[in-house]
Structure 1
């Protein structure tokens, strides 16, 4: 694959490079004065007027105290002056917006997760009043977070209304509230800045155009929008606030592990695809000490040339596990392969760490971006297809032939974490050798583990695009 040449100074940093930080605050804003909002943006782009500058993908020589990025909804772009004809060239899911009824049905934002129940009224009127997501990440100092927050609020106070400020705080060892080690597997994007600590894996490098507009994507085409100034080096994202029912998940493990006749920690590993310390079931099916970081993502599922390690049937890592659904790797699936549907995840926990000795109902979960070049073909595909359906897996037998089983019999229900999982229909299959799943164990009747507390479909313009938006009200524009 030909190396892509990317101008890192033109790309917002969070798209290609995650920030290793302890704190974050995400401001969700509604534009009330377009001219004032454009003036605010002009200062933010270059760090003038006392504001911090938008962070690019160019790696600094010294790690800064903070990072800033900004994105816009379709109605936000329209408020700044992008025309309806131009917006019609954008991703169809982005045009609908996160709070649209079709969107909510597609990705499972229903019942308690419906837009009508979102924080800050983000789902009101189909999300029409949600215009801007302004991101502030802080390396470690709470004083920097508060001082920069004061500066930003003073700057946007006359031109934008703050609908919500969503905070995030890192947990020890890159953990999340369900107890798993997180941020292990991210796609390797062609042309992206080299990682300080590379984590080798078995998977192909993903074409640049799956994450940045203006470059070839996995299908051989190129995503683009009009005007051209908003196209190359821009991207899309779903900004999500996902509330985790930690007490409910721990209760699920205890109750359903007993029904399945296994230990709770093994069930936790089976529904995720990894042990809570990050070890993948494919490499460590029996548990054990944490593997070195460079081994945690170096595995695959289907290995016809290596029958001893082939896991076509999901006997080690269930086919319906969270990581296998969201990236089936070498597995045979309906439609295109996993490379066409990868996403970059930039999310952090929010809320205090959960203490099982003192259960409480304090809100806690994950908040951040799910980044891609096509919300329709990447984020919505994963959410609406692989996470909610079990029929995407093609018929396939392992080394033992049909008498050992077939992959299509060894998956059921929806993703335990990201599925809707109504108790009347929820199920999860633990596979065993046997024709047509005869010896499988299937657990049923459990509830949804994660509720959507807010969602915004965003466009992350390039630096060129940000300057174009900031100048829309000028005579030259």
Structure 2
């Protein structure tokens, strides 16, 4: 397959396009009758009986009021008729599933985040078969109308285990106050969109997000049967609860202890100010928001001492954005391009009111999209987010006397790691040999708790039609739980 050619009509839109909407509703479904579920899939692909149609990556003008995409767990594909031999060709992490003990240990879903504590029946992987997502441009009325259409389509084939809504906040903010959705990868073969800001980072081969296309290693990810092996993808569905009160208390505590402004501390932990400006470009003050085209035009390494940040003096080596995309910094693995993710998330729950007594759950919900869960999502979660030895020895233009990157990171990711007050650590780098001028923050707890997860497979549009035919062709009996 030519890597420069992506069949937009065959790719589910969520994989390669951001819908830029205000509302989302995720339905977690279990298959009760495989034959009826197959008919449901075909009806959604064809748009029959007045049901909403699965959204492809092809741009539609004018912009639709809603978008629908569908994905399946390994148990869901088995319920539709894929054999054990066929499923054995899928990503090993996908075969394990999100609730598996090995998966949980790998990505840090332990303690309060452990699968047995998940909500909505998501702990029972055998029953979690489908995640169907409905994105709506702005109208709550449209959300309810389309949801009613979908629910009428569910009857007889699937039942709802859980439903979770999300809604966009002003200025694309999340509950911790940061602007989100910045630094999405540029995918080779995708036509540019007028509203997308140019990305200074290397474009990423389509095969990092789509099966059957060349990936960064020069190979292709494929599965059996062949009908599912082109233009499909994997998604990691996550419900991530955020402790906003704990985060703000943490900032206040360390501001008092260090004399550093709380907003500067917030920027150091993330690597960006809350308005999105990166510390590498705005190291001393937040300033006015940079144009979208400027927000991602930076690297961490330069031969020019004024621009270089090898040591993390501007953006800490352990900052959230630097752990998840080290860019040109020296790290273990095969470089950032091989481990990029597409993020499709939205806040859920009400915005935090520091003046009120508030015990409501809030956080982020959505998908991490990748063509290899193990090499992308799980690698980032286990290697770069949870280890502090992923950074290779590196000095800046001033030499070893100014420091070495390996001494300027400690602990796990403050926002994505498993942090215990007894062991947690975050390094604020100073200029000096072997970390001699560094300052370390410690004693903080975990700020993000996993409340649910599903490892999903997004078939291509043709793949969905294959699944719709599979049950009928095999004469599969109604699925029995």
Q: TM-score, normalised by structure 2?
A: 0.97
Match of 1:58 in 2: 58
Per the alignment, do residues 359 and 409 of structure 1 end up closer, same or farther by CA in structure 2, a change over 3 Å counting? Answer: farther
Match of 2:126 in 1: 128
- Is the CA contact 2:35–2:472 (under 8 Å) kept in the aligned structure 1? no
- Determine if the alignment matches structure 1 residue 163 to structure 2 residue 161: yes
Alignment of 1:194-209 (within 5 A): 194-209=192-207
Match of 2:389 in 1: 391
Match of 1:436 in 2: 434
Counterpart of 1:474 (choices 446, 456, 472) is 472
Partner Cα separation in structure 1 for residue 466 and residue 85 of structure 2: 17
Match of 1:419 in 2: 417
- Is the CA contact 1:259–1:443 (under 8 Å) kept in the aligned structure 2? no
Counterpart of 1:377 (choices 339, 358, 375) is 375
- Is the CA contact 1:17–1:193 (under 8 Å) kept in the aligned structure 2? no
Partner Cα separation in structure 1 for residue 471 and residue 402 of structure 2: 67
Alignment of 1:93-108 (within 5 A): 93-108=93-108
- Is the CA contact 1:260–1:441 (under 8 Å) kept in the aligned structure 2? no
Partner Cα separation in structure 1 for residue 213 and residue 5 of structure 2: 10
**What secondary structure sits across from 2:263 in the alignment?**
helix
Counterpart of 1:261 (choices 259, 262, 274) is 259
Match of 1:5 in 2: 5
Match of 2:296 in 1: 297
1:359-404, Cα deviation, whole Å (9 max, x unpaired) = 4121111000100000000000000110000100000011221111
Match of 1:277 in 2: 275
- Is the CA contact 1:422–1:447 (under 8 Å) kept in the aligned structure 2? yes
Match of 2:479 in 1: none
Match of 2:86 in 1: 86
Shift of 1:46: 1.3
- Is the CA contact 1:238–1:456 (under 8 Å) kept in the aligned structure 2? yes
Shift of 1:476: 8.2
Match of 1:215 in 2: 213
Shift of 1:147: 1.2
Partner Cα separation in structure 1 for residue 472 and residue 273 of structure 2: 55
Shift of 1:65: 0.5
**What secondary structure sits across from 2:9 in the alignment?**
helix
Q: Which stretch shows the higher mean deviation, 3-12 or 452-461?
A: 3-12
1:244-272, Cα deviation, whole Å (9 max, x unpaired) = 00111000110012223201000000000
Q: Which segments of 5 or more consecutive residues in structure 1 lack a partner in the other structure?
A: none
- Is the CA contact 2:167–2:348 (under 8 Å) kept in the aligned structure 1? yes
Partner Cα separation in structure 2 for residue 164 and residue 81 of structure 1: 24
Partner Cα separation in structure 2 for residue 427 and residue 196 of structure 1: 42
Partner Cα separation in structure 2 for residue 431 and residue 201 of structure 1: 28
Give the length in aligned residue pairs. Answer: 473
Shift of 1:203: 1.4
Match of 1:67 in 2: 67
- Is the CA contact 2:178–2:275 (under 8 Å) kept in the aligned structure 1? yes
**What secondary structure sits across from 1:315 in the alignment?**
coil
Partner Cα separation in structure 2 for residue 188 and residue 119 of structure 1: 34
**Backbone CA RMSD of aligned residues:** 1.1
**What secondary structure sits across from 1:271 in the alignment?**
helix
Partner Cα separation in structure 1 for residue 333 and residue 183 of structure 2: 23
Partner Cα separation in structure 2 for residue 213 and residue 3 of structure 1: 11
Partner Cα separation in structure 1 for residue 88 and residue 324 of structure 2: 29
Match of 1:358 in 2: 356
Q: Which segments of 5 or more consecutive residues in structure 2 lack a partner in the other structure?
A: 476-481
- Determine if the alignment matches structure 1 residue 175 to structure 2 residue 176: no
Match of 1:406 in 2: 404
Match of 1:322 in 2: 320
**What secondary structure sits across from 2:466 in the alignment?**
helix
Counterpart of 1:185 (choices 175, 183, 186) is 183
Partner Cα separation in structure 2 for residue 159 and residue 324 of structure 1: 45
Partner Cα separation in structure 2 for residue 258 and residue 386 of structure 1: 29
Match of 1:147 in 2: 145
Q: Which stretch shows the higher mean deviation, 424-433 or 354-363?
A: 354-363
Partner Cα separation in structure 2 for residue 174 and residue 387 of structure 1: 24
1:36-80, Cα deviation, whole Å (9 max, x unpaired) = 100111100111122100000000021001000000000000000
Shift of 1:308: 1.5
Match of 1:45 in 2: 45
Match of 1:334 in 2: 332
Partner Cα separation in structure 1 for residue 240 and residue 114 of structure 2: 12
**What secondary structure sits across from 1:473 in the alignment?**
helix
**What secondary structure sits across from 1:150 in the alignment?**
helix
Partner Cα separation in structure 2 for residue 313 and residue 331 of structure 1: 10
Partner Cα separation in structure 1 for residue 23 and residue 12 of structure 2: 19
- Is the CA contact 1:16–1:193 (under 8 Å) kept in the aligned structure 2? no
